[in-house]
Structure 1
Amino acid sequence: MTLVTASVLSVSCDAPAPAPAPEPVRCPPAEPQSLTSPRTATYYLDQHVLPPIEELARYDVVIIDHEWAHRLPRSFFDQLRIVDPRVRLLAYVNVVDHPDQLGTYDYWEQRYALWQFQSSTESTFPEQWLAGTSTGSRVSQWPNTLMANLTDTAPRVDGRTYAEYAANWVVDQVWSTGLWDGIFLDVWGDRIFGADHDRWDIDGDGTDEPDEEIYGFGNPWERGVTRAEQLMRARMPGAILVANGDRSLRDQQLNGRVWESFADPYARTEPLADLDRYVALSSGQDHRVPGVSVTIDKRRAAPASPREFQRARYFLAATLMQNGYWAPMGADYSETVYYDEMDGGGLGRGYLGQPVMANPCPAALDGSYADGYGSLGDGVFRRDFEHGTVLLNTSGTAREVSLDQPLRRLRGTQDPVTNNGETVESVTVPAYDGLFLVNP
Structure 2
Amino acid sequence: MSRILLVVLVSMSSLSCAVPTARNTTADAASTAVMSVPGVPTGPGATGEPTFPRTATYFLDQDRLPPMEELARYDLVVLDHEWAHRVPTSYFEGLRSRNPRIRLLAYINLIDRPAALGSPGYWADRYALWQFDGPNSSAFPEEWVATTASGEPVSEWPRTTMTNLADLAPRVDGKMYAEYAAEWVVDQVWSTGVWDGVLLDVWGDRIYSADADAWDVDGDGEDEPDSQIYGPDGPWARGVSVAERLMRERMPDAIIIANGDRSLVDGLLDGRAWESFADPMAERDPGLDLERYLATTAGEGHRLPGVWMTIDRLGAGGSVADTYRRARFFLTATLLSDGYWAPMLLHYGSTAYYDEMDGAGLGHGYLGLPVSEASLQGDAGRTVLRRDFENGIVLVNSGETAEQVYLDRPYRHLQGTQDPRVNDGTVTDEVVLEPQDGLILLRTD
- TM-score, normalised to structure 2, is 0.88
- Name the CA distance, whole Å, in 2 between partners of 1:280 and 1:100: 39
**CA distance in 2: counterparts of 1:240 and 1:376, whole angstroms:** 38
* CA distance in 1: counterparts of 2:90 and 2:232, whole angstroms: 43
Which residue pairs with 1:241 in the alignment? 256
> Which position in structure 2 is the counterpart of 1:272?
287
Say whether the 8 Å CA contact 1:375–1:382 is kept in structure 2: no
Alignment partner, residue 281 of structure 1? 296
Contact 2:315-2:344 at 8 Å conserved across structures: no
CA shift at 1:322, angstroms?
0.2
Tell me, yes or no, if structure 1 residue 80 matches structure 2 residue 95: yes
Mapped to 1, the partners of 2:48 and 2:221 lie a distance apart of 54
CA positional deviation for 1:102: 0.3
Evaluate the alpha carbon distance shift between residue 269 and residue 78 of structure 1 in structure 2; reply closer, same or farther with a 3 A threshold: closer
Q: Answer yes or no: is 1:170 the counterpart of 2:174.
A: no
1:3 corresponding residue in structure 2: none
Alignment length, in residue pairs? 407
- Following TM superposition, by how much is the alpha carbon of 1:286 offset from its aligned partner in structure 2, in angstroms? 1.1
CA separation of 1:191 and 1:75: change in aligned 2, threshold 3 A: same
Q: Distance in 2 between matches of 1:302 and 1:224?
A: 41
Could you tell me how far 1:261 is from its partner in structure 2?
A: 0.8
- Alignment partners' CA distance in 1, 2:286 and 2:280: 5
User: Does residue 54 in structure 1 map to residue 58 in structure 2?
Assistant: no
Could you tell me which of 343, 365, 380 is aligned with 1:328?
343
The SS at the match of 2:385 is strand
Write the distance in 2 (CA, Å) between the matches of 1:115 and 1:383. 46
List per-residue Cα deviations over 1:374-430 (Å, max 9, x = no partner): 986421111111111111001111111111111111110000100011111111011
Amino acid in structure 1 at the alignment position of 2:186: V
Look up the match of 1:150.
165
Conserved in 2, the CA contact under 8 Å of 1:168 and 1:232?
yes
Q: Equivalences for 1:338-357 in 2 at 5 Å?
A: 338-357=353-372
Q: d(CA) in 1 for partners of 2:142 and 2:81? A: 25
Alpha-carbon separation, structure 1, partners of 2:14 and 2:338: 13
Q: Kindly state the Cα deviation for residue 281 of structure 1 after the two structures are TM-superposed.
A: 1.6
- Residue type matched to 2:212 in 1? H
Which structure 1 residue ranges, 5 or more long, are not aligned?
1-21
**Correspondence for 2:316:** 301
Code of the residue aligned with 1:92 in structure 2: it is Y
- From 435, 439, 444, give the equivalent of 1:431: 435
Matched-pair contact (CA < 8 Å) for 2:277–2:284: no
Cα-to-partner distance string for 1:42-84 (whole Å, 9 max, x where unaligned): 0000000011110111111000000000000001111110111
**Could you tell me how far 1:131 is from its partner in structure 2?**
0.2
* Partner SS for 1:418: coil
Q: CA deviation at 1:266?
A: 2.3
For residue 328 of structure 1, report the CA deviation from its aligned partner.
Answer: 0.5
Cα distance change on mapping 1:80 and 1:42 into 2, 3 Å = same
Paired residue type of 1:150 = L
SS class of match (2:174):
coil
Equivalent residues of 1:375, 1:381 under 8 A apart: no
Q: Secondary structure at the match of 1:400?
A: strand
Residue in 1 aligned with 2:26? none
Instruction: Say if 2:436 is the partner of 1:421.
Output: no
Question: Which residue does the alignment assign to 1:391?
Answer: 395
- One-letter amino acid of the structure 2 residue matched with residue 277 of structure 1: R
Letter in 1 for 2:286: P
Task: Tell me the equivalent position of 2:240.
Answer: 225
Task: Assess if the C-alpha contact under 8 Å between 1:301 and 1:307 holds in 2.
Answer: no
Q: What is the CA–CA distance in structure 2 between the aligned matches of 1:156 and 1:437, rounded to whole Å?
A: 57
Q: Where does 1:129-208 land on structure 2 (aligned, <5 Å)?
A: 129-208=144-223
Q: CA deviation at 1:239?
A: 0.5
Q: Tell me whether 1:379 sits opposite 2:394 in the alignment.
A: no
Alignment-mate amino acid for residue 433 of structure 1: D
- Residue 267 of structure 1 and its aligned partner are, at CA, apart by 2.3
From 394, 403, 406, the counterpart of 1:402: 406
Matched-pair contact (CA < 8 Å) for 2:384–2:395:
yes
Amino acid at match of 1:284: G
Q: Distance in 2 between matches of 1:31 and 1:439?
A: 20
Distance 1:213 1:381 in 2: 41
- Structure 1 residue 93 corresponds to structure 2 residue 97: no
Query: CA shift at 1:31, angstroms?
Result: 9.8
Which residue of 2 is the match for residue 292 of structure 1?
A: 307
State the Cα distance separating 1:33 from its structure 2 match: 2.6
Letter in structure 1 aligned against 2:341: W
SS in 1 for 2:169: coil
Supply the AA of the counterpart residue of 1:333.
Answer: Y
Deviations 1:114-143 (A, max 9, x none): 000000000000011100000010000000
Alpha-carbon contact 1:376-1:382 (below 8 Å) kept: no
Whether the aligned pair in 2 keeps the contact of 1:31 and 1:289 (CA below 8 Å) is no
Task: Pick one of 324, 329, 332 that aligns with 1:317.
Answer: 332
Aligned-residue RMSD, C-alpha: 1.8
Give the match's secondary structure for 1:217: coil
For 2:133 and 2:405, the matched residues in 1 are separated by: 63
Q: 1:172 to 1:375 in 2, by over 3 A?
A: farther
Q: Kindly provide the amino acid, as one letter, of the partner of residue 215 in structure 2.
A: W
- Structure 2 residue 42 is the aligned partner of structure 1 residue 38: no
C-alpha distance in structure 2 between counterparts of 1:80 and 1:269, whole Å = 33
Corresponding residue for 2:265? 250
Q: 1:112 — aligned with what?
A: 127
Aligned equivalents of 1:403 and 1:241: distance in 2? 39
Q: CA deviation at 1:356?
A: 1.1
* 5+ long unaligned stretches in structure 2: 1-8, 17-44
